[in-house]
Chains A and B, each alone.
Chain A
Amino acid sequence: MTTLTLTQPRLPTRGVIWTLALAWLAVTLLPLVFVVFTSLKSQQDTFDSPVWALPSHFDWSHYAGILQSGFLTYLRNSLFVVGASVTLILVISAMAAYALARLKFRFNKPLFGLIVAAMIVPLHITLVPIYLMTKGIGLYDTPFALIGPYVAMSLPVSIFILAEFMRQIPRELEEAAQLDGCGPFAIFRKVFLPLSGPGVATVAIYNGIHLWNEFIFAYVLTSSPGTRTLPLSLWDFQGEYSSNIPAMLAVVTLTSLPLIVAYAFGQERIVKGMMAGSLKG
C-alpha cells in the first residue's frame, strides 16, 4: 500500500488551487472586458493609447451607428428563425419521442438506434446537397431556408432527450388513462405532454442557444443583409468596419447581449439545458 501512495502524484494544496481558479477566472473574463471597454473607445483612442488604458471618454457612437444600420433586421430574422424552428422541434420531437418511448411497433429499437447514431453525423456532409435543394425549391436567401435544416439537425438529440425523459413517466398513469378509454393520441396529449415540461424546457433551451449561434448553414443558405441572422451580422459588418476596431467590438457586444441577458435571468436552467445534449456514460 505504501509504495502505491508514494508513486501517486500529489494533489496541489487548497491555496494553490484557489490561485489557479482565480487565474482561470481572469483568463475567462479579460478578453470579454477588453471587448466591452474597447467598444466604448473612440477610434482615435485605439491608435493613441495602450490597449489596457480606459477609454478617454465613453463613446457610444458606434452602438448608435450599428443600431441604425440594419442591426435590428438581423435580430428580427434571428428571433423568427429560432422561434419557428424551436416550436417545430418541440412538437415534432415530442411526438416521435412518445412513439419511441411507449408505443409497441416492429422497428422501434432499430429506429431509435438510428436516431441516436444520427447525433454524431458531421452536418457538413449535408451542406452542399441542402444548398442545392434550397436553390432548387426557390427558398435560397430567405429566412425560411434555415428552418427545415435547423429542425432536422436538432431532431436526433431532442428526440433522444425527450424519449429518455418520457421513459421515466410511470406506466400506471398511462394505464389509468387507458381504462378511462383514452387512445394513444389522448394519452400523449393529456398525460405525456403535461408531464414532460422539464424535458421540453431543456430541449428548448439547448436548441434555442445552438441555433441562435449557428453559423455555417446561415452563411451558406442566405446572402443578403435583409435575410441573415444575428451571427452573420458580425460577418457582414466586418467588411464595413474592417479598420474600425471599436465599432467591430460594439457589434460583438450587441450580438452577444441577448443570450447574456437571458443567462443573467436563468443561469442554472441554461447551464443545465446546454449540458443536456452531451452523452453521459
Chain B
Amino acid sequence: MNTHVTMAALPSAIRRQQYARNLAPVLFLAPAVALLVTFLVYPLGQSFHLSLLEWNGLGENSVFVGLSNWAVLVQDTVFWHALGNNLLLAVVSVLVQLPVAMALALLLDKAGRGSRTLKILYFLPLLFSSVALGVIFKNVYDPNFGPINAVLQTLGAPALAQDWLGDRSYALGAVAAVICWQNIPFYMILFLAGLASFPPELREAATLDGASNSTIFWKIKLPHLQGTVRTAAMLAVIGSLRYFDLIYVMTGGGPEGASELMATYMYRTVFSSFQLGYGSTIASAMFLVVTLIAAFGMRLTKRFETEV
C-alpha cells in the first residue's frame, strides 16, 4: 500500500516541479513584456498604421490614404533639410565632442591630485534638465542682456555680436555648442574608464624601448581605446539623430526652420498643425533612419557590454 502511494505521488511531484520550472520564466517576464508591448511595440506598429492615414486627431474622421503620406515625405524639402541638420549635428558631435573629451580624459588620467575635483565639476552639466539648460543658454545668448554679446562689445568687437538664436546662420550652431557643452563630460568619463584599464606594463615596456609619450599615445593607447571610441561615436551619432529637447526649447526649430530636426518637425506637424497622419509618417521615417544607422553601427562595434 505504502509503495503504491509513493509511486503515485512521485510523478505528480515531478510534474509539479516541471510545471513550476516551465511557468517561472513566464511569470518573471510577464510584467516587463506586457509593459514593453503596451508602450513600445504597439505604439511602434500604431505609428506606421497612422502614417497611412489623414487625420487631425479629433473624432473619427480619419481617412485611409495608403502610401500617399510617404510619397509626400520623399519630396518634402523640410524633412530632408531636417535630416540634413540631424546628420550635421552627428558630424559635429563626433568631431568636436570626442576629441575634446579625449584631451580632457588624458589630462585627468595623468594629473593625480586635483583631477578628482576637476572630474566632479566637469560632470555638473549632465545633471541639468534640457529645459533648464535651454533657459540658461537663451539668456546667455540673449542679444541685449546676454553675457556673450556684452563681452564681445567690451572687447571692442561689437561687430561680432549677433542675435545668436534669432539668426538663420547661427541658430543651429549656437544650440550645437550647448549640446557639446553638456555632453563632452559624458564622453570624457567614458574615455577615462577606458584609460584606467590600460595595463601599466605596456607603457613601461614601451618606455624601455625608447618610445616617446606621443608615440605611446598614438601607437598604443589610442588603439587600446579603439572599442571605447567606436562606442562613443555610435552613441553620439544615435543621440544626434533622435535629438529633440534643447532645439525645441531654445529655437523651436526656427528661425524659419533653420534649426529644424526630424523630431521637432514631427512634433510641430502633430501638435501645432494637427496632422497626426503625416506627423506619424515623419516619426516612422525617423525610426527607420535611426534603426538602419544603428544596426550598421552595431555591426561595427559588434558587442554590447556594460559596467556596473
**A interface with B by C-beta (< 8 Å):** 4-5, 8-11, 14, 17-18, 20-21, 24-25, 27-32, 34-35, 38, 46, 50-52, 91-93, 95-96, 98-100, 103, 105, 108, 111, 115-116, 118, 120-130, 132-133, 148-149, 151-153, 155-156, 159-161, 164-165, 183-185, 188, 198-199, 202, 209, 212-216, 220, 230-232, 234-235, 238, 245, 248-249, 251-252, 255-256, 259-260, 263, 267, 270-271, 274-276, 278-281
Q: Which of B35-43, B69-77, B157-165 contacts A (4 or more CB under 8 A)?
A: B35-43
- What residues on A are CB-neighbors of B56 within 8 Å? none
Q: Are A24 and B35 in contact (CB under 8 A)?
A: no
Q: Does B195 reach chain A (CB closer than 8 Å)?
A: no
B100 cross-chain contacts in A, Cβ below 8 A: 24
Contact B42–A275 (Cβ < 8 Å): no
Contact, CB under 8 Å: A130 / B43 = yes
* Closest chain B residue, CB of each to CB of A133: B43
Contacts of B82 in A (CB 8 A): none
The reply on B170 being an interface residue by CB < 8 A is no
Q: Cβ of B97 < 8 Å from any Cβ of A?
A: no
Nearest neighbor of B148 in chain A, beta-carbon distance: A51
Question: How many contacts between A and B, using CB within 8 angstroms?
Answer: 298
In the bound complex, CA of A93 to CA of B31 (Å): 9
Which residue among A115, A120, A121, A232 has the maximum number of chain B CB atoms within 10 Å of its CB?
A120
Give the chain B neighbours of A151 by CB distance below 8 A.
Answer: 35, 39
Task: List the A side residues contacting B276 at CB < 8 Å.
Answer: 128
CB neighbours (8 Å) of B290 from chain A are 120-122
Given contact pairs A126-B43, A215-B131, enumerate 18 new A-B contacts (beta carbons under 8 Å).
A4-B215, A25-B122, A96-B32, A99-B28, A116-B304, A128-B50, A128-B279, A148-B38, A148-B39, A183-B21, A185-B20, A199-B308, A216-B244, A216-B267, A231-B129, A231-B131, A271-B123, A281-B303
Residues of chain A within 8 A of B234, CB atoms compared = 279
B88 at the interface (CB under 8 A from A): no
Residues of A within 8 A of B248 (CB): 216
> Which of the listed residues B28, B193, B212, B266 has the most CB atoms from chain A within 10 Å of its own CB?
B28
Query: Assuming A25-B118, A103-B24, A279-B304, is B103 touching A20 (CB within 8 A)?
Result: yes
- Among A98, A202, A278, chain B packs the most CB atoms within 10 A around the CB of A278
Flag if B107 contacts A21 (CB, 8 Å).
Answer: yes
Using an 8 Å CB-CB cutoff, how does the interface string of B10-28 with A read, 1 for contact, 0 for none?
0000000100111011001
Tell me how far the C-beta of B210 lies from the nearest C-beta in chain A, rounded to whole angstroms: 9
Separation of A32 and B228 alpha carbons in the complex (Å):
30
Contact B127 A260 (CB under 8 A): yes
A184 contacts B32, CB within 8 Å?
A: no
Bound Cα distance from A218 to B284, whole angstroms: 21
Q: Which of B1-9, B139-147, B198-206 lines the interface with chain A?
A: B139-147
Asked if A249 meets B135 with Cβ closer than 8 Å, knowing A120-B291, A124-B244, A280-B305, the reply is yes
CA distance A212 to B184 in the complex (A): 21
Q: What are 25 A-B contacts with C-beta separation under 8 Å?
A: A14-B110, A21-B104, A24-B100, A34-B140, A51-B145, A52-B147, A99-B24, A115-B36, A121-B287, A124-B267, A155-B36, A185-B20, A198-B308, A213-B128, A213-B132, A220-B271, A230-B129, A256-B129, A263-B123, A276-B307, A278-B190, A278-B231, A280-B228, A280-B305, A280-B307
B126 within 8 A of A: yes
CB distance from B59 to the nearest CB of A (A): 12
